[in-house]
Amino acid sequence: MKQFQGRTAVITGAGSGFGLEVARLAAGRGMQLVLCDVQADALARAAAEFEGRVPVLACQVDVAKADSMEALAAEVQQRFGAPHFVFNNAGVGSGGLIWENTLADWEWVLGVNLMGVVHGVRLFTPMMLAAAQADPQWEGHIVNTASMAGLLNPPNMGVYNVSKHAVVSLSETLYQDLALVSEQVHCSVLCPYFVPTGISQSHRNRPEDLPGGRPSRSQLISQAQIDKAVSSGKVSAADVAALVFEALEQRRFYIFSHPQALGGVQTRLEDVMQARNPSDPFSERPEIGAQLRQALRQA
């Protein structure tokens, strides 16, 4: 995409983090905003920030719910027509040893992280393709937020890893499928590393019908490690938002906040190609691996 003025952006998880920073950049480019978030107060603050600057439609949406997303798509179509930019960004975090995740953990994390993207793709892509078919000058772009955890498999983060690997696979397939049918609609996948966004505290928005229960030792350890890693991150959500818009302008598929982390991805792929057992994820920081093993093996 090269033109943004007067075009429409749909942003999920718009109340904070990447979503809010992308909304700020979109507004600065004169885009109409559809802001979606499950947290009502954060959504209201975000909408108030842009009121009077650009047209804003604020919708409290649980992206995991098909009917909620279907209502959103219908409202967007009625108000603005097909969106030009869809940022399927809403996400939640959850850690712990993979066998200790409850069914509610799986339903919550996969519901938001994966099905939220699925709903965004299945509902908005047909609208965008129809607009492109009707106008040879029309262009659109979809960005799905995954994670470096979608290209790696860090231990003690199983349910999150699974959800983000699925988003990478979905996005790569979407890229190939779009290339079969259109030159006007494109997509990217965002794979951030540890960036302060609020996702480490996403349990604040966990629905009552999928309770978390008392956290296990491994889940408490995971939470502490992620909090520390996120809080010490030097790349900001605003930095990542700028990378998203660079990808839109350059039609770049992979968006990495920390390219230096790709060494681990290369090692993982070499493990696969050579059919060798998965490499030690702590080979460069063995003290961290030793601390984690010791903490998890305590009686």
pLDDT in tens, 26-39: 999 999 999 999 99
**Cα(265)–Cα(152) distance, integer angstroms:** 6
What does the pLDDT average to over 49-78?
97
Write the CB contacts of 211 (distance below 8 Å, at least 6 apart in sequence).
Answer: 104
Identify each DSSP E strand in the chain by its residue range.
8-12, 32-37, 56-60, 85-88, 140-145, 185-191, 254-256
pLDDT at 227 over 90: no
pLDDT at 202: 67
pLDDT at 209: 80
The band of 183, judged by pLDDT with boundaries at 50, 70 and 90, is very high
pLDDT at 201: 65
pLDDT at 200: 57
CA-only gyration radius of the chain, Å: 19
Q: For 150-168, write each residue's pLDDT tens digit.
A: 999 999 999 999 999 999 9
pLDDT at 228: 80
Q: Which residue has the higher pLDDT, 169 or 223?
A: 169
pLDDT at 145 over 80: yes
pLDDT at 214: 82
Q: What residues are labeled active site?
A: 160
Neighbours of 150 (CB within 10 A): 26
DSSP label at 144?
A: E
Structural fold of domain 8-260: Rossmann fold (3.40.50)
Coil, strand or helix at 86 = strand
What does the pLDDT average to over 292-298?
90
pLDDT at 198: 67
The band of 206, judged by pLDDT with boundaries at 50, 70 and 90, is confident
**Cα(195)–Cα(145) distance, integer angstroms:** 13
Q: Using an 8 Å Cβ cutoff, are 63 and 115 in contact?
A: yes
Q: For 246-265, write each residue's pLDDT tens digit.
A: 999 999 999 999 999 999 99
CB-based burial of residue 236 (10 Å sphere; 0-12 exposed, 13-18 middle, 19+ buried)?
Answer: middle
Please state, for a pLDDT cut of 70, what percent of the chain lies above it.
98
pLDDT at 299 over 60: no
For the chain, what is the mean pLDDT?
Answer: 94
**Cα(103)–Cα(142) distance, integer angstroms:** 30
User: Which of 70, 98, 68, 17 has the alpha carbon at shortest distance from 207?
Assistant: 68
What does the pLDDT average to over 94-108?
94
The band of 199, judged by pLDDT with boundaries at 50, 70 and 90, is low
